[in-house]
Amino acid sequence: MRRAREVIPGGVNSPVRAFGSVGGTARFIKSATGARIRDVDDNRYLDYVASWGAVLVGHAHPRVVDAVRSAAARGTSFGAPTEAEVLLAERVIEFVPSVEMIRFVNSGTEAVMSAVRLARGATGRDKIIKFEGCYHGHGDSLLAAAGSGVATLGIPGTRGVPEAAVRDTIVVPYNDLDAVENAFLQHSDGIAAVIVEPIAANMGMVSPRPGFLEGLRSLCDTYDAVLIFDEVITGFRVARGGAQGRLGVVPDLSTFGKVIGGGLPVGAYGGRRDLMRHIAPEGEVFQAGTLSGNPLATAAGLAVLELLDEDGVYDALEQRSRRISEGLQSQADAAGVPMTIDSAGGVFGFFFHPGPVRNYEDVQKADGKRYETFFHGMLDQGVYFAPSAFEVAFVTTVHSLADEDETLEAARRVFRKGL
Ligand code: HOZ
């Protein structure tokens, strides 16, 4: 870490990895297989970070490794179209019916920046509505009241983002439909898009209240604005069809990342054909990338989606997350520690807070000190949760019942010691 800090700011290539909010030193990972990661000191950890959700079928899954290896042997990048990109596009469209056309990029950040540009280009309007505590990558216009690393560092925004870049960003509380309606009333013909994490997972996990997403859908219809679901975390993870498939609300555009790259750098945005046709070279909204549709990432994505198409995958993920959530909740209850837990498909999140947790204001009332103690207590026993109370926990298809028992046993010891 000392050497890393000399040459990389904070020693890390993404801030939340630095253990800044929980204290201690980040683990340097040397290898991983299945549900376990190994650090450079040869400590093994049961992994609930799973590359921040990018790994859904377990680390180094043989089918993914084979696919990447054979793609690499054919050439790592051509800067020209390949058949595999078409196959992956068709596959995503099959999983997520609201996506009629898709464009692959290299990260979730890029996907969101491009989707917002598209919404603005297609509507000829500038303003966008986002929600406090939702995180949509580190593009300038969305770094207002953001979750994830911005929340972890406890800063309201970030230096280097000019005021002009966020002037057209309207920030409202998550789950507050009245606030969204008021924003529309105030700027009725100026709002290009509403962008939302349909299940918020960058301020811990906060589910939408019944009617919230439906309300966004109908306000966007009324005011001809584009509804963008940021499914970078929830896509292919909370259900086969993502949060939109699970909750039954259809956006105009969606953004993806993480799972569809199988652990390689990928993002994508897609949606209604009439909107997507505005993208260059068909239309006048420009977006490009040397490594977009990269053969290795595409091969990994295809292998993962194939695995996810097998029967029972999502039921198993759902059961695993639920079992562990219920186990943790009952331990907290027995210990008299206020805790609120939520789960969906392969993701769960908990707050040391009696609940309900509906928005970022509630999230901030959660007990961060308790999270820190819990995090280190678990880490000491070889269970690796996110080094931040503002992130969620990820289950993969290879987390076993025995892994869960081990996790719950470790948690029992942490609660017993006192939180
Ligand atoms: N933005 C990621 C969490 N939602 C963190 C990425 C990382 O640190 O690797």
Please state which of the four CATH numbers 3.40.50.1820, 3.40.640.10, 3.50.30.40, 3.30.1360.120 is assigned to the domain occupying 62-308: 3.40.640.10
What pLDDT, in 10s, does the model give residues 335-377? 999 999 999 999 999 999 999 999 999 999 999 999 999 999 9
pLDDT of residue 155: 61
17 CB less than 6 Å from ligand 1? yes
13 CB less than 6 Å from ligand 1? no
The answer to whether 135 is a known catalytic residue is yes
List the residue whose alpha carbon is closest to atom 8 of ligand 1. Answer: 14
Q: Examine the pLDDT at 417 and tell me if it is beyond 90.
A: yes
14 CB less than 6 Å from ligand 1? yes
Structure tokens at 189: 């013909």
Relative to the CA of 233, which ligand 1 atom is closest? 4
Per domain, the residue ranges of the chain are 2-60+311-417, 62-308
Of 135, 174, 269, 314, the active-site residue reads: 135
Of 127, 252, 258, 314, the active-site residue reads: 258
The answer to whether 269 is a known catalytic residue is no
Average pLDDT value for residue range 296-315: 97
Average pLDDT value for residue range 378-407: 97
What percent of the chain lies above the pLDDT cut of 90? Answer: 93
Relative to the CA of 16, which ligand 1 atom is closest? 8
pLDDT of residue 164: 86
What 3 state SS string does the chain have?
CHHHHHHCHHHCCCHHHHCCCCCCCCCCEEEEEECEEEECCCCEEEECCHHHHCCCCCECCHHHHHHHHHHHHCCCCCCCCCHHHHHHHHHHHHHCCCCCEEEEECCHHHHHHHHHHHHHHHHCCCEEEEECCCCCCCCHHHCCCCCHHHHHCCCCCCCCCCHHHHCCEEEECCCCHHHHHHHHHHCCCCEEEEEECCCECCCCCECCCCCHHHHHHHHHHHHCCEEEEECCCCCCCCCCCHHHHHHCCCCCEEEEEHHHHCCCCCEEEEECHHHHCCECCCCCECCCCCCCCCHHHHHHHHHHHHHHCCCCHHHHHHHHHHHHHHHHHHHHHHHCCCCEEEEECCEEEEECCCCCCCCHHHHHCCCHHHHHHHHHHHHHCCEECCCCCCCCEECCCCCCHHHHHHHHHHHHHHHHHCC
What pLDDT, in 10s, does the model give residues 266-280? 999 999 999 999 999
What pLDDT, in 10s, does the model give residues 173-217? 999 999 999 999 999 789 999 999 999 999 999 999 999 999 999
Interval between CA 222 and ligand 1 midpoint (Å): 35
Interval between CA 10 and ligand 1 midpoint (Å): 15
Of 230, 252, 362, 403, the active-site residue reads: 230
Q: What's phi and psi for 77, nearest 5 deg?
A: -170, 135
pLDDT band at 154 (very low <50, low <70, confident <90, very high): low
Substitution site in 8, 49, 52 for ligand 1 pocket (most atoms within 8 Å of beta carbon):
52
205 CB less than 6 Å from ligand 1? no
Decide which of 377 and 159 is more confident.
Answer: 377
Cα separation, 365 vs 367, in Å, equals: 6
List the residue whose alpha carbon is closest to atom 2 of ligand 1. Answer: 52
pLDDT band at 156 (very low <50, low <70, confident <90, very high): low
Question: Crossing angle of helices 401-417/368-380, nearest 10°?
Answer: 120
52 CB less than 6 Å from ligand 1? yes
Average pLDDT value for residue range 158-175: 89
Q: Which residues pair with 101 in a beta bridge?
A: 271
Q: Examine the pLDDT at 130 and tell me if it is beyond 80.
A: yes
pLDDT of residue 105: 98
Q: Examine the pLDDT at 388 and tell me if it is beyond 80.
A: yes
202 CB less than 6 Å from ligand 1? yes
32 CB less than 6 Å from ligand 1? no
For the domain 2-60+311-417, what is the CATH code?
3.90.1150.10
Instruction: Give 223's contacts (C-beta < 8 A, 6+ positions apart).
Output: 184, 188, 189, 191
Relative to the CA of 137, which ligand 1 atom is closest? 1
Which residue has tokens 């990661």? 37
Q: Please, are residues 314 and 239 in contact by the beta-carbon 8 Å criterion? A: yes
Structure tokens at 129: 């509505």
16 CB less than 6 Å from ligand 1? yes
What percent of the chain lies above the pLDDT cut of 70? Answer: 99
pLDDT band at 162 (very low <50, low <70, confident <90, very high): confident
Residue at 217: amino acid letter: R
CA nearest neighbour of 157 among 170, 171, 146: 146
Residue at 15: amino acid letter: P
Q: Please, are residues 131 and 170 in contact by the beta-carbon 8 Å criterion? A: no
Q: Examine the pLDDT at 153 and tell me if it is beyond 70.
A: no
CA nearest neighbour of 158 among 174, 135, 192, 180: 135
Average pLDDT value for residue range 311-320: 97
What pLDDT, in 10s, does the model give residues 34-72? 999 999 999 999 999 999 999 999 999 999 999 999 999
Q: Examine the pLDDT at 320 and tell me if it is beyond 70.
A: yes
Cα distances from 363 to residues 18, 152, 350, in angstroms, run 21, 12, 10
Please, what is the average pLDDT of the chain? 96
Count of beta carbons in the 10 Å neighbourhood of residue 289? 16
Interval between CA 281 and ligand 1 midpoint (Å): 32
pLDDT of residue 143: 84
The answer to whether 30 is a known catalytic residue is no
Q: Examine the pLDDT at 144 and tell me if it is beyond 90.
A: no
